[in-house]
Structure 1
Amino acid sequence: MNRAEREAAARRVMERVAVPVPPDLSTEAVRRGDRLLRRRQLVRRVLWLLLCAAAVAFAVWAADAHPWVEPPSQTTPPVSGW
């Protein structure tokens, strides 16, 4: 498609009769946008809450279990009676 054909196609598109827009389209779009925004904010807050709860649970577990301490060796019995 060369430049003249593209210009002719663009003119044909612009000369068409505009499709009528429903009168309540903008109010419906605003309502849906507000609902989506509130839903995203709620999801974001719930995820932050879950992340904080997981961090607290991990801290409590780590304070109780001491996962950084090496467990005692159980491969040989203790030597006694020498």
Structure 2
Amino acid sequence: MNVPEREAAVRRLLERATPVVPPDLYAQAVRRGGRMLRRRRALLRLLWLLLCAAAVAFTVWAATVHPWVEPPSETTPPLTGW
């Protein structure tokens, strides 16, 4: 498309009466937006649930394994019979 054709196409668009909008466009937009919000809310709840489950699992693991305690030394035999 060259410049005069583009200008003519734009003029035709601007000379029309008010733009034609589908009558149910608003209802469709509201439905779609509500669906998007519900999906986002469900995803955030799922992520929070996974985070809480991971925190509980870590706490239970740390309470049973005690990773902060230094393991006994294996290099020196125990002193018995002195």
TM-score (norm. length: structure 1): 0.72
| Corresponding residue of 2:38 | 38
Q: RMSD value over aligned CA atoms?
A: 2.3
Identity over aligned pairs, percent:
67
Unaligned residue ranges in structure 2 (runs of 5+) = 1-10
| Corresponding residue of 2:25 | 25
| Corresponding residue of 1:59 | 59
Unaligned residue ranges in structure 1 (runs of 5+) = 1-11
Deviation at 1:22, TM superposition (A): 1.0
Greater than 3 Å deviation, 4+ residue runs:
79-82
TM-score (norm. length: structure 2): 0.72
Q: Deviations over 1:4-61 (max 9, x none)?
A: xxxxxxxx6x934354111111110100000000000101111111111111111111
Count of residue correspondences: 72
